[in-house]
Amino acid sequence: MNEILTMPPAHGAMTAIESSRAVQEVQAALIIAKRFPRNEVAAVDRIINACTRPGLAEVAVYQYARGGQDVSGASIRLAEAIAKLWGNLDFGVVEIESTEGKSTMEAYCWDLETNVKIKRIFQVAHVRYKKSYGNGPNLKPLEDPRDIYEGNANAGSRRLRACILASIPGDVLEAALQQCET
């Protein structure tokens, strides 16, 4: 009757609540993906139709010179558009840890129907690389949180694009790129 109950610290309770919510969210997404599987033919039609929009077609391909060669491919904007229209994919970038001088990040794309998850864990140094002409690498440490965020977002976008494109059938990507070129 006069028992003393000890309550866990408030932050522990909030962590447990958030953890439970996250588990329920994942379970719900998996159930919905199984209950409403993608219609691949309809998804490809939606993707091709989206690629007829000038706004998407204009940003669908990146291109830059590296070592005297042109490098090009599907942009992150095209990858995101395809992923949304392909359906039943969960994708994103998460900062796992931030320490002095670097961030550890994870980019992922999870096909909720097939339960295949492509992920990349990588580190982003909080530095800006500047071109140097014969003097070795020229690094400028980043201190402004906005500069650090933008560096992380830039590196994250490239890894996210790779994860999404690894999750989409190659022929679907090729059809989208062809449509964007016309």
What the block records as the tokens of 172 is 């679907």
Q: What phi and psi, each to the nearest 5 degrees, are found at residue 149?
A: -60, -45
Q: pLDDT for 44-96, tens place per residue?
A: 999 999 999 999 999 999 999 999 999 999 999 999 999 999 999 999 999 99
pLDDT at position 167 is 98
Please give the C-alpha separations between residue 101 and each of 93, 115, 143, 144, in angstroms, as whole numbers.
Answer: 19, 35, 9, 12
